[in-house]
Structure formats: structure tokens, C-alpha cells
Amino acid sequence: MDFFDGHNYRVNKILLLAIGQWPYQSSRTSHTIVIIIVTIVCTQIFTKLCGMFVYIHDMDIVIECLVPLMVDVSGMTKIMNSVLCVNEIRALLDRIKNDFYSLRNSNDIMMLEKYADSGKKSSTIYICVIYMLTVAFLLMPLQPLILQVTNVTRPMLHRVEYYVDMDKYYFPILIHGYFTALICVTSIVATDAIFVIFMQHACGLFIITGSRIEQAVQKVYETEDANPPITKDTAYRNMIQCVHDHRTAIRFANLIEIVYSKHFLFHAGLNMIAMSVTGVGTTIETLDVDYEDIESLNNLDVTNTMQCVKHAKNCALQNVFKIYNWWSQRQKELYQI
């Protein structure tokens, strides 16, 4: 049985195989899967962009369309990062396997297994939560069918534009959206979960090295001969081995940094933009709900609204209406050009 078919790594292997990013699968299979995935997702991105450009002057709809686009971009960039760093990821996996096979001390093996099990639990919880939320999201368009509601517009996962009869091709379009959502979610959880495994293994290596250093220092104090020959100085040789082990653990951590540092920098910026866009959209929706019973600004001006006593012509509310009226007139002039 392959080492990575063990209970601590099986789920990660299956997820990476599904998106063609398992370093040990054949290059032909990997490239075929990647081409299919990129084709499906890129066509969905194109339809979302078309759906957004139709309502480019409606800021609410533009904000609504941006977040799904960012999720698709996030999934694609995670796959591309795995493609570009496939050799480094293979080296990390080889190192994990070699560490388990090379260790002779039972305590060291137990320590690595402890951290591997911790990585498995963390990644499993993460995977389960994300997929549960995804399933709930995918079921939303099916509510009218499940509840047998008639005379309602069939909902889509996102706002898309295929330039065909949407009612006639409703299910093919919906299935396309389902495939894209599952691909992007799987890409995200697969790459994030294997990163957790790598980090836990690195932690295990440093813990083992620290334990060995403590044991080597303790043996120095237990040695009766304060200045033994180097050839017979066991504590000295143990300390040298600890230095080598520490350097090896640092090289493993540096390799993780090479694979993921730029990748996480890009996603930190992308997530910040996504959260900002979501916050703006939520604020707009909240304002719409809170003030839906107030007369539209189009029907208000500086002459038919309540004015304060001290500043009849220049109070804050009046200034807002003046600016709004000017901007409305300016928009009409721009559209006529």
C-alpha cells in the first residue's frame, strides 16, 4: 500500500487527484484534468462578466457579481500555483514519507504521528465545513422545485448571461454553474488542506529536534569525563546530529515558504477586496431596507423638504440635495453625449 493511502493523508490525496494536482499521478492525466477544469471555469467566468456588463451602470448588481468572480479567480490561482510548484510539492511529500521511514526512535515516530493526526483533524474539519456550506448554497436554486412552487422565475446560482433562452436551457446552465462551484471549492480546500499537513509536519520536525537537543545537553552533564576525545564524545556527536536535524527542518520550512508565500500574498489582497466589496453590498442592502418607506431622492429637492431654522438654505440636508440634483443632471447630460 502506498504511504499516502494511510488514514492521515488519504483525503488529501483524493482531493488533489480530483483537481489533477497530485504530484505522483501521470502528467498526461494531470494535464487533461487541468484543461477540463480551466475550460469549465473560464467559460463560467466569461458568462458572469457578460451578466455584469449588461448592468454595468447598476452598482448594486456589479457588487453582487464581483464576489462570485473572485471565488472563481481564487480557485484558478490555487490550481495554477500547484501546477507551477509541482516539483516543490513533490519534494515536500517525499520528505514527509522519508522522515517516517528513516526514524528509528519510537518516541520520534509517535511525535510525527501525533502532528500528522492533528493536521488530518484540522483539515478534515475545514473540508467538511466548506462542503456543507457549499451544498447548502447549491440547493438554493432548487427550492422552488423541491417546494413545488409555480409561477416564479427560476433562480440561478449567480447572475450570468449566455445569450440564449435562459428558461429553455435552464438546467444545462445550472449544471454548468454547479460544476464550476464544485471545482473552485475543491481547488481551494485541496490546496489549503495539504498546506495544513505540511505545516503540522514542520512543527513535528522542530519539536523532535528540540527534544533531541535537550537530551544531548543532558548527556553532557551526565558524562564523567569532562574532556573526552572527539572520537569517543557521544554528546558531541549527538549535538552535531541535532544541528543537522535543525537545518533539515529549516529547509523543509523554507520549501513551504517558496511554494506558498507569494500565493498567500495574492490571496490576502484578493480576500481583502472581496470583504470590502461584500461590506459595501451589505451596507447598501441595509440602507435600502431601513429607508425603503422614505420618498426617493428623485422626488425631493431643496424646495419641498423640511429645512432647519438657522440655516434655511445651507443646512447639511439641503447641501446633500443640491449635490444629488447636480449629479443627476450631470448623468443625464453624459448619457446624451
Reported confidence tier of residue 322, pLDDT bands at 50, 70, 90: low
How far apart, in Å, are the Cα atoms of 277 and each of 21, 242, 280, 332? 31, 50, 5, 27
What's the pLDDT score for residue 19? 93
- Report yes or no on 132 lying in a domain: yes
Q: Measure the CA dihedral 18/23/29/31, to 10°.
A: 100
Assess whether pLDDT exceeds 80 at residue 54. Answer: yes
What's the pLDDT score for residue 308? 52
pLDDT in tens, 238-264: 778 888 888 999 999 999 999 999 988
Assess whether pLDDT exceeds 60 at residue 90. Answer: yes
Q: Which of 31-40, 160-169, 215-224, 307-316 has the lowest mean pLDDT?
A: 307-316
- Report yes or no on 329 lying in a domain: no
- Report yes or no on 313 lying in a domain: no
- Report yes or no on 317 lying in a domain: no
pLDDT over 90, % of the chain: 39
Assess whether pLDDT exceeds 70 at residue 204. Answer: yes
- Report yes or no on 283 lying in a domain: yes
Average pLDDT for 36-43: 94
- Report yes or no on 303 lying in a domain: no
Assess whether pLDDT exceeds 70 at residue 315. Answer: no
Domain count, the chain: 1
Average pLDDT for 149-174: 82
More confident position, 253 or 332: 253
- Report yes or no on 62 lying in a domain: yes
- Report yes or no on 306 lying in a domain: no
- Residue range(s) defining the domain that contains residue 165: 3-292
Average pLDDT for 37-45: 93
Buried (b) or exposed (e) across 217-244, using 16+ Cβ within 10 A?
A: eeeeeeeeeeeeeeeebebbebbeebee
Q: Are 160 and 173 in contact (CB under 8 A)?
A: yes
Q: How high is the mean pLDDT of the chain?
A: 82
What's the pLDDT score for residue 273? 86
Cβ-Cβ contacts under 8 Å for 324 (sequence gap 6 or more): 297
Assess whether pLDDT exceeds 70 at residue 312. Answer: no
Q: Are 43 and 177 in contact (CB under 8 A)?
A: no
